[in-house]
Amino acid sequence: MTADASPIISVRGLVKHFPVRSRGVVRRRIGDVHAVCGVDFDIFSHETLGLVGESGCGKTTTGRLLLNLLPATAGSVLFEGRDIVPLSRAQMRPVRREMQIVFQDPYASLDPRMTVNEIIAEPLRIHGLYARDKVRDLLQMVGLSPEHGNRYAHEFSGGQRQRIGVARALALRPKVLVLDEPVSALDVSIQAGVVNLLEDLQDELGLSYLFISHDLSVVRHIADRVAVMYLGRIVETAPVEDLFRNAAHPYTQALISAIPVPDPRKERSRRRILLSGDVPSPVVPPSGCRFRTRCPKFADRLSDDERQKCTTEIPALTARGVGHETACHFAEALTLI
């Protein structure tokens, strides 16, 4: 990691609203789903940024916006200093060589009518870079043998399919890889192999990862820095060790305390922070701090004046240490593991 260099990706004020339409013929726009609301982060070269949060928090949308697969409502995504949000499809094409994505579901993301060779060769062909050797090398790089190339996706197990997805994403030698829940659909014993592969490839090829996941254990393992999202906003971001040791946002704390640890003695003695209620609708997000409706601190420990602040003022990400930022008016570090 070279912290002093300029980031390879720099996201500023990223916003994405999806229209909610009325039923019937006219389908008037009756509101917006505030999927991503003013997200800022940087990814440095050779670094893994973990983006965590629960379903519906906007982490996948953020990944798609990063690749310009979805048009952003506002904000900018700078790739090596150049804003890619306003680029047309044609202008995006050379940039696509540099940024690729691996999807969650290895069963849905591979075309069942193409052989593995064809799947991996497709991006090479589109960019006019096809060579048979390259496909063979890619297969080897992800731990498959060249003979596998003539088979179809359905002949492989989930872990192997995910390897094929990684090979396809690496075909153009990108610098940045968006990994959207790449191991969530896999059994644990298989998951470990794919995680190791991703780590090896990063070392070998100097890749930068945006690792999107709901699984904090995997993120702790693979990420250098972590950003925690809640309802479209980043609520905390920190170097991985710092986040897990000194989580300061009440949501991060609840998230960490909720992860079951595969260790019976620790598990029996652990303190759990239970959240009440459910994630509010992103169509009408709460005013002020979006987490306040479920925040244990807001409910139990704040005075009325302090609550007033949470209800009216949106907490900004403020620094709490080197690279550690928390968006909470009343943040306090807690050690939970």
Binding region for another protein (CB under 8 A): 54-55, 157, 159, 187-193, 195-196, 199, 214-218, 220-222, 241, 244-245, 254-268, 270, 272, 274-279, 337
CB nearer to another protein: give 2 or 55.
55
Q: 11 or 336: whose CB is closer to another protein?
A: 336
Quote the least distance from Cβ 157 to another protein, whole Å.
5
DSSP string, 15-60: EEEEEEE-SSSS--EEEEEEEEEEEEEEE-TT-EEEEE--TTSSHH
- For residues 96 and 172, give the distance between their C-alpha atoms in angstroms, rounded to a whole number: 9
Closer by beta carbon to another protein, 2 or else 269: 269
Q: Is 69 exposed, middle or buried (0-12, 13-18, 19+ CB in 10 A)?
A: middle
Q: Give the shortest CB-203-to-another protein separation in angstroms.
A: 12
Burial of residue 92 (number of CB atoms within 10 Å: 0-12, 13-18, 19+):
middle
Contact 273, 254 (CB under 8 A): yes
Q: How far is the CB of 21 from another protein (least distance, A)?
A: 19
Of residues 63 and 159, the one with the C-beta less far from another protein: 159
Tokens 């990691």 belong to which residue?
Answer: 1
Chain position carrying tokens 């002949």: 155
Side chain identity at residue 335, one-letter code: T
Minimum distance from residue 102 beta carbon to another protein (Å): 18
Q: Rounded distance, CA 153 to CA 171, Å? A: 17
Task: Give the residue with the Cβ less far from another protein, 33 or 222.
Answer: 222
| Beta-carbon contacts of residue 264 (< 8 Å; ≥ 6 apart) | none
Closest distance of CB 161 from another protein, Å: 11
Query: Measured from the CB atom, is 100 or 213 closer to another protein?
Result: 213
* Min dist. Cβ of residue 113 to another protein (A): 23
